[in-house]
């Protein structure tokens, strides 16, 4: 018998004639996730089998695959020949030695001598004879032993499933550019949009020397966490120090955040077009801070020329965002006390409902195109 990992995909089965495209994307993403681990992946009738791996790396493989979008569930099991004695030997290996249980059988091979109910009854009876501290409960068992008789003369035997990440394989829904800060929200926004199949690159704005290099390192660490779900990413790092200094020097301070956000969106759109991204993604949640009122969002959006702006967190409250941040493994990094550029020159009373006409008058005091081009010249791209 051979230890294998059974991978079942999520929404792909709904894709009809396009299913092959999504299956290939999932295969590629699993291979990326398992880079550096010896293994083989085989597709088998609506699922994948991970085979020929070192059993000591089983947990590592499962943990990596749990972060691959498109996977519904995983099971560590045994593959044997479709022979009742071999199936029983595998069942005995994975069966709990006490408690209530039931046996569920799926028989894809209709030429096998016994049908599904007969296989379950036979194996269940043998297990009852083998283990004295177990008994059958088909309605509310403490564990379920599953038997899957395949068409190729092999049978899979397993006793539990691990929930996968769900969603669609990354890369099947285009590419987006995520504005990532050192906070809690933006990594969660990237995670949520990647779950819908979008490949994600990141852009980060810094204000060195007003912000320190630890703030930059914090964002790199967050991008690394996100990259575990996006099969890698790139991080475009841009300095907005000169922009903030000019705003601070020439403009009404209460509009600092609004004006800066407008510059960020202009720069993000130019980077997005350069990397063939089809949209911009932000971690904004309606009403959470001063720049995220509907007036602030409208002001930011108005400088975008052609790309859509996706805000996956728009209707979420902070507790919901924190819960997702914890689940994806980003929260403890996000709360490290290193400031990002939005806190530099922060006014005591930022404009909550900025008037677009006032904003345009303030921008007339600035060389907008020159400042954007200078910021673009500071770009540093990191492969994560």
The 10s digit of each residue's pLDDT in 249-299 is 999 988 898 999 999 999 999 999 999 999 999 999 987 776 788 888 888
Give the whole-angstrom CA distance, residue 221 versus residue 335. Answer: 12
Summarised one tens digit per residue, pLDDT across range 179-225 is 999 999 999 999 999 999 999 999 999 988 888 888 899 999 999 99
pLDDT of residue 213: 84
Same domain, 207 and 355: yes
Domain span at 250: 175-383
Condensed to tens digits (0 to 9), the pLDDT of residues 52-79 reads 999 999 999 999 999 999 999 999 999 9
Is 169 inside a domain boundary? no
The candidate with the shortest Cα–Cα distance to 362, out of 270, 288, 257, is 257
- Residues 83 and 129 both lie in one domain: yes
- State yes or no: cis peptide before 209, omega within 30 of 0: yes
Same domain, 116 and 265: no
pLDDT above 90: residue 13: no
CATH assignment at residue 14: 3.30.2130.30
**Percent residues over pLDDT 90 in the chain:** 80
Tokens of 39: 């293994």
Total count of domains within the chain: 2
Is 170 inside a domain boundary?
no
Confidence at residue 20, expressed as pLDDT on a 0 to 100 scale? 86
Query: What is the model's pLDDT at position 87?
Result: 96
Q: What is the model's pLDDT at position 348? A: 66
Residue 167, pLDDT > 90, answer yes
Do 213 and 135 share a structural domain? no
Q: What is the pLDDT of residue 204?
A: 96
Proportion of the chain above pLDDT 70, given as a percent: 97
Question: 119 falls in which pLDDT band (50, 70, 90)?
Answer: very high
CATH number, position 339: 3.40.50.620
Last residue of a domain, one of 112, 139, 163: 163
234 and 101 within one domain: no
DSSP string, 323-365: HHHHHHT-HHHHTSS---GGGTT--SS--SS--HHHHHHHHTT
Same domain? For 81 and 222 the reply is no
Prediction pTM value: 0.89
Please indicate, yes or no, whether residues 57 and 130 belong to a single structural domain of this protein.
yes
Q: What is the pLDDT of residue 226?
A: 97
pLDDT score at 345: 66
Note the pLDDT tens digit of each residue in 298-352.
889 999 999 999 999 999 999 999 999 999 999 999 999 876 655 666 666 677 7
Q: Which of 132, 163, 194 is the last residue of a domain?
A: 163
Handedness of CA 126, 130, 134, 135 (dihedral sign): positive
Query: Are 157 and 216 in the same domain?
Result: no
- Judged against a pLDDT cut of 80, whether residue 159 lies above it is answered with yes
Evaluate the CA torsion angle 115, 119, 120, 122 in order and state its sign. Answer: positive
pLDDT exceeds cutoff 90 at 30: yes
Residues comprising the chain, all counted = 384
From CA 299, how far away is CA 261, in angstroms rounded?
9
194 within a domain of the structure (yes/no): yes
pLDDT surpassing 60 at residue 104: yes
Listed residues 100, 132, 163: the one ending a domain? 163
Residue 343 lies in a domain: yes
Average pLDDT, the chain: 92
The DSSP letter of residue 128 is H
């Amino acid at each position: 018998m051979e230890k294998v990992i059974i991978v079942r995909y999520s929404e792909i089965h709904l894709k009809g004639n396009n299913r092959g495209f999504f299956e290939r994307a999932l295969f590629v993403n699993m291979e990326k996730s398992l880079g550096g681990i010896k293994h083989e992946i085989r597709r088998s009738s609506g699922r994948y089998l991970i085979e020929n791996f070192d059993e000591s790396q089983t947990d590592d493989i499962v943990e990596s695959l749990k972060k691959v979008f498109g996977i519904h569930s995983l099971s560590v099991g045994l593959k044997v020949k479709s022979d009742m004695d071999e199936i029983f030997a595998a069942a005995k290996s994975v069966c709990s030695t006490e408690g209530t249980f039931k046996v569920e059988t799926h028989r894809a091979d209709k030429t096998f001598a016994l049908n599904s109910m007969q296989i379950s009854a036979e194996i269940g009876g043998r297990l009852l004879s083998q283990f004295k501290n177990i008994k059958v409960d088909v309605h509310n068992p403490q564990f379920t032993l599953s038997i899957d008789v395949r068409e190729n003369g092999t049978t899979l035997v397993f006793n539990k499933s691990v929930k996968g990440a769900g969603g669609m394989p990354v890369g099947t829904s285009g590419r987006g550019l995520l504005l990532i800060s050192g906070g809690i929200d933006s990594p969660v926004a990237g995670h949520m949009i990647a779950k819908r199949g979008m490949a994600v690159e990141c852009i980060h704005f810094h204000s060195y020397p007003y912000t320190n290099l630890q703030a930059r390192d914090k964002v790199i660490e967050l991008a690394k966490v996100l990259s575990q779900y996006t099969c890698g990413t790139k991080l475009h790092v841009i300095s907005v120090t000169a922009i903030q200094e000019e705003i601070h020097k020439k403009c009404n301070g209460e509009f600092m955040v609004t004006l800066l956000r407008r510059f960020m969106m202009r720069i993000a759109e130019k980077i997005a077009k350069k990397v063939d991204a089809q949209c911009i993604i932000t971690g904004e949640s309606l009403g959470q801070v001063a720049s995220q009122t509907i007036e602030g969002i409208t002001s930011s959006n108005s400088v975008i020329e052609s790309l859509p702006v996706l805000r996956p967190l728009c209707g979420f409250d902070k507790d919901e965002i924190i819960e997702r941040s914890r689940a994806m493994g980003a929260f403890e990094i996000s709360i490290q006390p290193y400031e990002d550029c939005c806190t530099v020159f922060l006014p005591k009373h930022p404009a909550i409902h900025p008037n677009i006409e006032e904003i345009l008058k303030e921008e007339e005091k600035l060389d907008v195109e020159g400042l954007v081009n200078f910021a673009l010249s500071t770009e540093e791209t990191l492969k994560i």
